[in-house]
Amino acid sequence: MRLKGKHIVLGITGGIAAYKSAVLCRLLIKEGAEVKVVMTPNATEFITPVTMATLSKNSVLIDFFKHDDGSWNSHVDLGLWADAMLVAPATASSIGKMANGIADNLLITTYLSCKAPVFVAPAMDLDMMAHPSTQRNIKQLASYGNLIIEPESGELASGLEGKGRMAEPESIVNFLVDALDPKKKSLAGKTVLITAGPTYEKIDPVRFIGNFSTGKMGFALAEVLAGQGAGVVLIAGPVHIKCHHPNISRIDVQSAIEMQQKALEHFSNCDAAIMSAAVADYRVDQMANEKIKHDKNQSISIQLVPNPDIAASLGQIKKEGQVLVGFALETHNEQAHAQKKLVEKNLDFIVLNSLNTPGAGFGHDTNQITIIDSNGFEAFELKSKTEVAQDIVHRLIRLLN
Ligand code: C5P
């Protein structure tokens, strides 16, 4: 019952994701919240007010006036009753109205009257989401102090990746719980170091040995940690992704040696470190200073030497109170190998990625993990990398407080 006694106004706007608002409402109530639902007229095309009234155990508010007796639904009273307002799904149109004060329905007027924190879970077609106008409106809402619950990724009509699908109800509830419980937003004042992405080990000025890591898991962790109030030092190998939160300070590196140097430089000022980088195990012993010429009649060999283990080197200098987290990607005897690494690298817990689960690991937007510590293991379902990051961060928060 993580929301016991909390008054939540659940605002539903007219998008297909409105069907998920039923589950969301049920989850909020399961967590002990009292829920009052306000819907835009368009939302009633996607889910019936009867469904929402039954689930919320309160009558649903749609119109300014009750048609039968002409009495007024007070958006001001509703706004004052709320400990939080959650708009989920929030369509491009409603986000635009909220950002610009276009109060032509009860939901928007309630939003404008609300004195409590407002959470917004955007849900729309990915191309609509990517439009500069939508992006501007969302930024505008964030600048009013509204909390934006990141939507999920998918493919745009152009083939590029974008975001738009509403976050899953479970993630939305977790987001609310974290933000509303002052004890949970407990990474304020903490600093966390993250390594992410691959490393490139140069062979000559134009060639390297690398791997397929995209850095998505580490970057998702950085965003979730920053969202929880932590300062994040993100040491990233060569990746093609951006980070967004202003509390993330990013250091770009190429090789394992550079990554280790930066990690050692910053670790002593950090409360925790999460080693999510896919560090190359070997580097080229003697990098050629000039491009190696090819000779079709001759094979060549490159001498490789082991790279330092960055996680283990931090494990060696870890002080009392500092938390060190590692990842393991195994193909067989997964748990036993992960357990061994936990001890060898002096980690507080290790996140095991299963290569045996379709959709998990390198390049995917989803991941399936098991968290292992000295007390045992906890297995999680296949989830988006953002949700996985939330699970990992929840565990970290428990250790840091
Ligand atoms: O030993 P293995 O590579 O399987 O260990 C994986 C964990 O150790 C990950 O957390 C990874 O980021 C970290 N690691 C590291 N430096 C290395 C190799 C692995 O920090 N050279």
3-state secondary structure at position 2: coil
Cα separation of 7 and 14, whole Å? Answer: 23
Report the alpha-carbon distance of residue 315 to residue 344 in Å, rounded: 9
Q: Give the model's pLDDT for residue 154.
A: 78
Q: How far, CA to CA in Å, does 12 sit from each of 23, 90, 105, 399?
A: 12, 7, 12, 36
65 has a pLDDT exceeding 60:
yes
Mean pLDDT of 348-354: 93
pLDDT classification of 161: cutoffs 50, 70, 90:
confident
Distance 327 CA to ligand 1 centre (A): 7
Phi/psi-derived region of residue 311, left when phi > 0, alpha when psi is between -120 and 50, beta in every other case: alpha
Q: Which helix (H) or strand (E) holds 236?
A: strand 231-236
- Ligand 1 centroid from CA 175, angstroms: 30
Atom of ligand 1 at shortest distance to CA of 276?
A: 12
Looking at per-residue confidence, does 46 or 178 come out higher? Answer: 46
Q: Ligand 1 centroid vs 280 CA: distance in angstroms?
A: 9
Q: What 8-state DSSP symbol labels residue 247?
A: T
| Higher per-residue pLDDT: 146 or 273 | 273
Mean pLDDT score, 303-307: 98
Mean pLDDT rounded to a whole number for the chain? 92
Mean pLDDT value of segment 54-79: 86
Give the DSSP letter string of 3-43: TTT-EEEEEE-SSGGGGHHHHHHHHHHHTT-EEEEEE-GGG
For the chain, the maximum distance between any two Cα atoms, rounded to a whole number of angstroms, is: 94
- Indicate the top mutation candidate among 309, 347, 352, 353 to test ligand 1's pocket, ranked by most ligand atoms within 8 A of CB: 309
pLDDT at residue 168 greater than cutoff 70: yes
CA of 395 to the centre of ligand 1 (A): 20
**Measured in angstroms, how far is the CA atom of residue 329 from the centroid of ligand 1?**
9
Q: What is the average pLDDT across 134-156?
A: 84
Residue nearest (by alpha carbon) to ligand 1 atom 4: 328
Q: Which two tokens stand for residue 4?
A: 């016991």
Domain at 7-184, CATH from 3.40.50.970, 1.10.760.10, 3.40.190.80, 3.40.50.1950: 3.40.50.1950
Helix residue ranges, H only, 31-168: 49-56, 75-81, 92-100, 106-113, 126-130, 132-143
Q: In the prediction, which pLDDT does 312 show? A: 98
Is the pLDDT at 301 greater than 70, yes or no? yes
Whose Cα sits closest to atom 21 in ligand 1? 309
Residue 1, both tokens: 């019952």
| Residues with Cβ within 8 Å of residue 358, at least 6 apart in sequence | none
pLDDT at position 356 is 74
Instruction: Locate the ligand 1 atom nearest the alpha carbon of residue 330 and give its number.
Output: 4
Q: What is the pLDDT of residue 121?
A: 97
CB burial of 322-359 (b: ≥16 within 10 Å; e: otherwise) equals bbbbbbbbbeeebbebbbebbeebebbbbbbbbeeeee
pLDDT value of position 153: 85
Between 400 and 357, the more confident residue is 400
Q: Whose CA is nearest to atom 9 of ligand 1?
A: 327
Categorize the per-residue pLDDT at 343 as very low, low, confident or very high, splitting at 50, 70 and 90: very high
* pLDDT for 70 beyond 80: no
Q: Is the peptide bond before 182 cis (omega within 30 degrees of 0)?
A: no
pLDDT of residue 399: 93
What's the CA gap between 164 and 129, in Å, rounded? Answer: 6
AA identity, residue 271: D
Mean pLDDT computed over 34-52: 98
Q: How far apart are CA 148 and CA 171, in angstroms?
A: 12
Per-residue pLDDT reduced to its tens digit, 244-297: 887 788 999 999 999 999 999 999 999 999 999 999 999 999 999 999 999 999
**Averaged pLDDT, 70-74:** 77
Which residues' Cβ are closer than 6 Å to ligand 1? 195, 256, 275-277, 279, 307, 309-311, 326-328, 341
Among protein residues, the one whose CA lies closest to atom 13 of ligand 1: 311
- On the question of pLDDT at 316 being above 80, the answer is yes
Strands 118-122 vs 369-373: parallel, antiparallel or unpaired: unpaired
Nearest to 114 by CA among 228, 10, 31: 10
User: Is the Cα torsion angle 309, 312, 317, 322 positive or negative in sign?
Assistant: positive
Give the tens place of pLDDT for each residue, 205-234. 999 999 999 999 999 999 999 888 888 999
Give the pLDDT of residue 100: 97
The reported pLDDT for the residue numbered 182 is: 62
Q: DSSP letters of 174-228?
A: HHHHHHH-TTTSTTTT-EEEEEESB--EEEETTEEE------HHHHHHHHHHHHT
Identify the architecture of domain 191-400 in CATH: 3-Layer(aba) Sandwich (3.40)
Mutate which of 195, 201, 279, 318 to test ligand 1's pocket (most atoms within 8 Å of Cβ)?
A: 279
Residue 364 has pLDDT above 80, yes or no: no
Q: Which residue has the higher pLDDT, 68 or 25?
A: 25
Amino acid code (one letter) for 368:
Q
- Res. 361: pLDDT tops 70: no
- Statement: residue 106 has pLDDT above 60: yes
Contact, 147 vs 119, CB < 8 A?
Answer: yes
**Domain limits, the chain:** 7-184, 191-400
Task: Give the model's pLDDT for residue 197.
Answer: 97
Quick count: other Cβ atoms within 10 Å of Cβ 143?
A: 9
Lowest mean pLDDT among 66-75, 188-197, 368-377: 66-75
Q: What is the Rg, in whole angstroms, of the alpha carbon atoms belonging to the chain?
A: 24
Which one is predicted more confidently, 237 or 182?
237
Check 73, 211, 247, 346 and give the catalytic one.
211
Helix or strand (DSSP H, E) at 349: strand 349-354
Q: Is 367 a catalytic residue?
A: no
Name the residue with tokens 């292992």: 372
